[in-house]
């Protein structure tokens, strides 16, 4: 009897193991790998023109894939940009236009629960889903990746993190209204806390970018079903931290801050190479659609801007010929390096000039993965028919930006209309002949101004006002709350009669 049971169990185990692998072998849908850099300067990669930073792995993906010459994100700041990417909808639709604080106890501060992530949509169709790296979409359990469609999570919930294990602690840095820039971590609560794996703390034993890459490489290798992995690096976001040996590799760069920054980009590129090698070793490389982009532009741009407002010693990332960087409505803020790579599905490598948005990543992934399309309509386009030539023209006739209505922009194929800051006035550019926004043609083109204003106003009709506080203001409000609460309790105690006993 025992022998019979043993044989039956053996057959069941073999059948189960085989069925899991058979799913992967017979399912033609591609794996989806979305790789996002953080605060990367447009011109800081080999394929975008960098001569002093070496990125052979990204260059190989670019040269054998499709480079989006007009690839954009939906916002020039980290958190809102990631919200647009992960939902496939403009974040202004649901009032999330700021960086939220990683507040564990606040069940209202995070990516609104009215929104589905592309992970949720793909999970419903049988994909194995994971996120490795930076979340930045809410610290409360309601907003945890596990509750937003991701089967697996390894990384951190905050908007930034130290890169070295020696800096990790479980304490929260003091934040003072008088000195809000006391540490880089103050506005990113949890930036020096331990990493998480799923719902538990995780081991952090090596340079963060390497550790994230190693975990991502294992995820893609182990997956037995079509997978969707969101590899969300925090590199090369502040703090500027890199291994000494890698910094030394860039001793040819005289700017000391750029040396460290270059080493951070180098480590990210090597990490991406680690993941690509894992895909190849597991036989999944050809049928994995890889996207690469940055969440916004350069945090401290060396070029493409007015030097009068920045100290040269603090400049370290390169916007190339684009004006400005992170936070700006000009090109340096949201025009980012953008790659698609899929040997089994993209017919020809090269460059694509149509208007492409990070919104298109969710739309493409859901279309190819036969994901759930219920709920809010995705605002991106499936890019595959365009890059393969089955559809002609640009995926978008216009793209839009808004930052709490204080800054705004609209871009069509031939023009861009924007307000970057009130003291700079309104700007209009000919994007065919002046893609680097050098000559404001507003005064002589009232018809074009009217045309683009109409487009933006029509788009803006579908938006909501911002419903969240940005990290800095959030800390001030919370600090005041604790102070006022203490004051209230002290005053209340004065009114209570002292207890007398006999």
Structure tokens at 401: 């930006």
Q: How confident is the model at residue 15 (pLDDT cuts 50, 70, 90)?
A: very low
Instruction: Tell me which residue of 189, 183, 139 sits closest to 160, measured CA to CA.
Output: 189
Q: What φ, ψ does residue 312 adopt, rounded to 5°? A: -60, -35
pLDDT higher than threshold 70 for residue 171: no
Contact indicator for 34, 229 with CB cutoff of 8 Å: yes
Which region among 156-170, 222-236, 274-288 has the lowest average model confidence (pLDDT)?
A: 156-170
Least confident segment among 82-91, 134-143, 489-498: 489-498
pLDDT at 6 over 50: no
Active site includes 2?
no
Could you report the per-residue pLDDT of 136-155, keeping only the tens digit for each?
Answer: 999 999 999 999 999 999 99
CA torsion 10→13→14→15, rounded to 10°? 120
- Place 182 in a pLDDT band, splitting at 50, 70 and 90: very low
Mean pLDDT score, 406-426: 95
Instruction: Please tell me whether residue 92 adopts helix, strand or coil conformation.
Output: helix
Q: Which residues contact 289 (CB under 8 A, 6 or more apart)?
A: 30, 31, 32, 33, 340, 341, 342, 345, 364, 365, 368
For every residue of 431-476, DSSP letters joined together read: TTT-TT-----GGG-HHHHHHHHHHHHHHHTT-----S--HHHHHH
Structure tokens at 312: 């040269």
Token match 């990384």: residue? 155
When pLDDT is cut at 50, 70 and 90, the band that residue 313 belongs to is: low
Return the pLDDT at 179. Answer: 53
Residue 9 scores a pLDDT above 60? no
Q: How far apart are CA 268 and CA 223, in angstroms?
A: 22
Residue 359: per-residue pLDDT = 98
Catalytic annotation, pick one of 2, 75, 78, 146: 78
What count of Cα atoms within 13 Å lies in the side-chain half-sphere of residue 154? 19
**Homologous superfamily, domain 30-395:** Alkaline Phosphatase, subunit A (3.40.720.10)
Q: Catalytic pick from 136, 237, 341, 396?
A: 136
CB 295 within 8 A of CB 37: yes
pLDDT of 205 > 60? The answer is yes
Q: What is the pTM of this model?
A: 0.91
Which residues, in sequence order, are CB contacts of 453 under 8 Å at separation 6+?
A: 410, 417
Comparing 4-13, 18-27, 237-246, 485-494, the range with the smallest average pLDDT is 4-13
| Domain spans of the chain, in order of start | 30-395
Residue 192 and residue 246: Cα distance in Å, rounded?
22
Task: Give the per-residue pLDDT at 5.
Answer: 41
What pLDDT is recorded for position 476?
Answer: 82
pLDDT of residue 176: 56
Instruction: Indicate the burial class of 383 (C-beta count within 10 angstroms; 0-12, 13-18, 19 or more).
Output: buried
Per-residue tokens: 483: 């102070």
Tell me the pLDDT tens digit for each residue of 100-140.
988 888 999 999 999 999 999 999 999 999 999 999 999 99
pLDDT class of 188 with cuts at 50, 70, 90: low
């Amino acid at each position: 009897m025992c022998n019979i049971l043993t044989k039956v169990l053996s057959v069941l185990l073999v059948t189960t193991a085989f069925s899991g692998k058979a799913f992967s072998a017979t399912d033609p849908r591609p794996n989806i790998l979305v790789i996002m850099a953080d605060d990367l300067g447009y011109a800081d990669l080999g394929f975008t023109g960098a001569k002093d930073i070496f990125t052979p792995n990204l260059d190989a993906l670019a040269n054998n894939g499709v480079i989006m010459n007009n690839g954009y994100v939906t916002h020039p700041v980290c958190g809102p940009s990631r919200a647009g990417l992960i939902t496939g909808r403009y974040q202004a639709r649901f009032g999330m236009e700021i960086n939220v604080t990683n507040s564990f106890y606040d069940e209202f501060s995070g990516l609104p629960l009215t929104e589905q992530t592309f992970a949720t949509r793909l999970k419903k169709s049988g994909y194995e889903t994971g996120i490795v790296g930076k979340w930045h979409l809410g610290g409360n359990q309601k907003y945890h990746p596990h509750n937003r469609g991701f089967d697996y999570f390894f990384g951190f919930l905050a908007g930034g993190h130290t890169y070295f294990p020696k800096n990790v602690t479980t304490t929260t840095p003091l934040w003072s209204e008088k000195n809000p820039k006391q540490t880089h971590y103050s506005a990113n609560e949890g930036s020096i806390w331990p990493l998480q794996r799923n719902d538990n703390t995780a081991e952090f034993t090596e340079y963060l970018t390497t550790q994230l890459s190693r975990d991502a490489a294992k995820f893609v290798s182990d997956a037995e079903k079509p997978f969707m992995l969101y590899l969300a690096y925090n590199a090369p976001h502040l703090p500027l931290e890199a291994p000494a040996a890698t910094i030394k590799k860039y001793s040819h760069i005289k700017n000391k801050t750029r040396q460290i920054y270059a080493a951070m980009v180098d480590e990210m590129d090597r990490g991406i190479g680690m993941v690509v090698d894992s895909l190849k070793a597991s036989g999944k490389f050809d049928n994995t659609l890889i996207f690469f982009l940055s969440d916004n532009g350069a945090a401290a741009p060396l070029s493409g801007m007015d030097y009068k407002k920045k100290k040269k010693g603090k400049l370290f990332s390169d916007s190339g010929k684009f004006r400005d960087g992170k936070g700006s409505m000009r090109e340096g803020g949201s025009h980012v390096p953008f790659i698609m790579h899929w040997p089994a599905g993209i017919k020809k490598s090269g460059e694509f000039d149509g208007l492409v948005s990070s919104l298109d990543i969710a739309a493409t992934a859901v279309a190819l993965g036969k994901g759930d399309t219920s709920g809010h309509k995705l605002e991106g386009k499936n890019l595959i028919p365009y890059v393969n030539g089955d559809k002609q023209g640009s995926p978008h006739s216009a793209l839009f930006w808004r930052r709490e209505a204080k800054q705004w922009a609209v871009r069509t194929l031939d023009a861009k209309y924007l307000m970057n800051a009130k003291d700079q006035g309104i700007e209009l550019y000919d994007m065919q002949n002046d893609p680097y926004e050098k000559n404001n043609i507003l005064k002589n083109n009232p018809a074009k101004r009217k045309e683009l204003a109409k487009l933006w106003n029509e788009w803006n009709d579908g938006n909501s006002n911002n419903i969240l506080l940005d990290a800095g203001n959030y800390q001030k409000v919370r600090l005041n709350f604790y102070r006022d609460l203490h004051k209230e309790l002290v005053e209340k105690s004065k009114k209570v009669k002292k207890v007398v006993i006999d």
